[in-house]
A and B are shown apart, each in its own frame.
Chain A
Amino acid sequence: DVKVTQSSRYLVKRTGEKVFLECVQDMDHENMFWYRQDPGLGLRLIYFSYDVKMKEKGDIPEGYSVSREKKERFSLILESASTNQTSMYLCASSFALAGGRGSGANVLTFGAGSRLTVL
């Protein structure tokens, strides 16, 4: 089975701290994603990456950065955490968008999530 592992299930940080959320997948997927989930707002895309060292902004990139130095690992970084970044963070991965119909690219495998609380 494809596994997407997020390093921390629960984190508590203080305002202004630098926070790293790590995600590792073991199925050689090209695409990796970071989503944020808040009550009533569904899943919102922060950043995604379709290759090593490549990154693209999602809908809400402000206050976040990402790093993808290896294919299997995608890190989300909060340079200076703020209380409005308290949320559930979900990492996902998928195969690349094919030249034709991208049947595999839309099949995302998610991690269990990292619940971050910023005090």
Chain B
Amino acid sequence: LAKTTQPISMDSYEGQEVNITCSHNNIATNDYITWYQQFPSQGPRFIIQGYKTKVTNEVASLFIPADRKSSTLSLPRVSLSDTAVYYCLARNTGFQKLVFGTGTRLLVSP
């Protein structure tokens, strides 16, 4: 079963833009890509979803190329409170199961 692939960790400083890319080579044709944020001792929280091109909300932007084999979560001007684990979620073609990646641990330093 193909899984989503993300970098294990990333480091950044306050005020910088952070881009986290997720690879999902076998994504279902009609499926949306969603991203989640998780703080310690809490369940993941939905951040943003998209199908193609670019989506932006008050928290983040999501870029999805035409082939939809990857997606990039963009966090503008991160702060210390953005330190968390970020997961992408997609559904593989022909499966009902939703497969999470192993997550990217983002550490934002002063």
Contact residues of A with B, CB < 8 Å?
4, 33, 35, 40-45, 48, 50, 56, 58-59, 90, 92, 97, 100-103, 106-113
Contact = CB atoms under 8 A, between A and B. Distances in A.
A110 B51 contact: no
Contacts of B100: 35, 42-45
B63 interface: no
Contact of B42 (A33, A97, A113): A113
- Where chain A touches its partner, the secondary structure class is loop
Interface of B: 1, 30-34, 36, 41-46, 49, 51, 87, 89-91, 96-103
Contacts of B45: 110
A106 B44 CA distance: 13
Nearest to B46: A107
A17 B34 CA distance: 37
A45 B97 CA distance: 8
Contact of B97 (A59, A110, A113): A59
Contacts of A41: 102
Contact of B96 (A56, A92, A112): A56
B1 A110 contact: no
A63 to B, nearest CB: 18
B57 to A, nearest CB: 13
A100 B34 contact: no
